[in-house]
A and B are shown apart, each in its own frame.
Chain A
Amino acid sequence: MNGIPLELGLVLSAVLFVLGLIGVMVRRNLIMILMSLEVMLNATGLAFIVAGSRWGQADGQIMFLLILTLAAAEVGVGLGLALQIFHRFQTLDADSVNEMQG
């Protein structure tokens, strides 16, 4: 493919991936954690599309569709759990949910 070289695309997706990872580790609000997770998953999707365009194949885009499906399913369950947690603890703070130790 001509235009954007492979390395640039991969570097961009790696940067997005790391930003998402930092978000998951630093944020304490469950909704924000789930959003950062989305960023990570979409960064991998971008990497797949970049790789697919290098080889001129549709496989990368198909993988991206699969990743979107996963992200939707995961967030569906995650938000359901967040709802229940809010009912129980009256907060979405990840630290106050953390009771098991050792």
Chain B
Amino acid sequence: MNSNQFIALAPILIIAGAAVVTMLIIAIRRNFVLINCVSACGILLSLLAVGLIWQANPVQATSLIRVDGYALFYTALLLLTGLSVIGLCYDYFKARTGENEELFVLLLTALLGAVVLVSSSHFASFFIGLETLSISLFVLISYTINRQNSLEAAIKYLILSGVSSAFLLFGMALIYAQSGVLDFNGIGRYLMNQKDMNALVLSGVILIIAGVGFKLSLAPFHLWTPDVYEGAPSPITAFIATASKGAVFALLLRYFISAYNYSYLPFLTVLSVIAVLSILIGNLLALLQNNVKRLLAYSSIGHMGYVLVAFIAGGRIAPALVVESVTFYLVTYFITTIGAFGIISVLSTPQIEADDLSFYRGLFWRQPWLATIFTLMLISLAGIPLTAGFIGKFYIFASGADARLWGLLLTVIVGSGLGLYYYLRVVVVMSMNVEATAIEPVEPVQKRMSTTILAVLTLLLLWFGLYPGHLIESILLISNSLK
């Protein structure tokens, strides 16, 4: 390790350091506001480090971690996500009794895992990053331990996540047994020299897809998603839905491109089936939900299916275009999902979680601004023009059409049509007459931090929807850095 590599690793090291410092401060003095500020400062410092090394050349720090433009872009995205989730947590947990300070330590370690994941170029760092993220999430999900569903959600997630990790590891072991290398580039070289398909490698990659499919909640592995989304505290749900899935997806893309997996057509067939199932199951089951968190959970299954379509297109089109469309879609998905769960967490009180659809009846009359923001987030999720979600969906179509995946695109169209229906249903419920409301209007509590974050997210949503050029330019810079 030389100094150059240490500088490249700075964002990761700062996050790890921030987690330790936060933990020590808790041991000395328990103060919710102080801990919140310290962890936010840690993330800001790490962001600063990302900004400083943004222009540098790609650095391979040991064979485990590769810090290139792609890794740095996703690191910045994840750090910003972490920052907004910490802001939402501040308002959500401030009024709650109990010791809520450790929450921020766990958020920082989860973030650390996610950041390692997006920069890893080796099976060992892939695995370590994924598990640092997952194990922090188990505890975060069950953090509001007195709520009925938190424990159930956490134990379900723990068991299923353990099984999926075992699948993932077994797949890695099979690939290692055949190729003798664990780093992505080495596997790429091995596969490139391989003339025929190898049964061990094939089953290995299929097992890895199964393990990753669980983390991304793709269709046959999606069963945990609605329960965990419902049981976890809303800001944490936002974190699971965005940071955890986005980081895994970024890693999967890096793995497929650098380990040359696109040359194996059977994988793409398996992935196509998974994509179709995810889009249909996610959107169809979302129609039946009366709980907003469960509705968003099923819709997120569908959205992961959409991104997978752009991902599959990589078998036929240039990797740079795949990176561009997947990254753009993920950015818009991050913004809208944090926004939507942010609304839920602003409306929730320590007594009641605002996840039932009846809670939203007449929201336009009670809290017009929040209702407007929620509407914008939902129509962006549905992919209606003038919002960022539209451009994201446009990218999916563009890459799908380039690769001539007509069947998959048809499924995307069907899924979007269904999506429009259930997103607008929430909007209609929000605009219903206020007299019909069954619930007493809740005393409005000042939640300045969350409101600011929501306002910023809304502005970003409209900015990227109306002038996507800025974002596309910075994505283009990174899309060629993957090798």
- Shortest B253–chain A CB gap in Å is 23
Please report the C-alpha to C-alpha distance between residue A52 and residue B159 in the assembled complex, in whole angstroms.
28
Please report the C-alpha to C-alpha distance between residue A40 and residue B207 in the assembled complex, in whole angstroms.
14
- Shortest A79–chain B CB gap in Å is 10
Q: What is the interface of chain B mostly: helix, strand, loop, or mixed?
A: helix
Chain A interface, number of residues (Cβ within 8 angstroms): 47
Q: Could you tell me if A37 and B139 are in contact, using CB atoms closer than 8 angstroms?
A: no
Which positions 9-51 of chain A face chain B at CB distance < 8 Å?
10, 13-14, 17, 20-21, 24, 30, 33-34, 37, 40-41, 43-45, 47-48, 50-51
Closest chain B residue, CB of each to CB of A10: B177
- Chain A residues within 8 Å of B, Cβ to Cβ: 6, 10, 13-14, 17, 20-21, 24, 30, 33-34, 37, 40-41, 43-45, 47-48, 50-52, 54-55, 57, 59-60, 62-63, 66-67, 70, 73-74, 77-78, 81-82, 84-85, 88, 94, 97-100, 102
B166 CB within 8 Å of chain A: yes
B154 CB within 8 Å of chain A: yes
Q: Could you tell me if B170 and A43 are in contact, using CB atoms closer than 8 angstroms?
A: yes
Q: Could you tell me if B174 and A77 are in contact, using CB atoms closer than 8 angstroms?
A: no
Please report the C-alpha to C-alpha distance between residue A13 and residue B166 in the assembled complex, in whole angstroms.
12
Q: Mark B54-89, 1 if CB is under 8 A from A, else 0.
A: 000000000000000000000000000000000000
Q: Could you tell me if A41 and B135 are in contact, using CB atoms closer than 8 angstroms?
A: no
Q: Could you tell me if B158 and A51 are in contact, using CB atoms closer than 8 angstroms?
A: no
Chain B interface, number of residues (Cβ within 8 angstroms): 39
Which positions 212-235 of chain B face chain A at CB distance < 8 Å?
226-227, 230-231
Q: Could you tell me if A44 and B170 are in contact, using CB atoms closer than 8 angstroms?
A: yes
Looking at the complex, which one of B138, B142, B162, B174 makes contact with A37 (CB distance below 8 Å)? B162
Q: What is the interface of chain A mostly: helix, strand, loop, or mixed?
A: helix
B169 CB within 8 Å of chain A: yes
Q: Check A66/B176 contact, CB under 8 A, given A37-B166, A44-B166, A88-B151.
A: no
Residues of A within 8 A of B142 (CB): 81, 84
Residues of A within 8 A of B128 (CB): 66
Please report the C-alpha to C-alpha distance between residue A70 and residue B153 in the assembled complex, in whole angstroms.
20
Looking at the complex, which one of B145, B163, B231 makes contact with A40 (CB distance below 8 Å)? B163
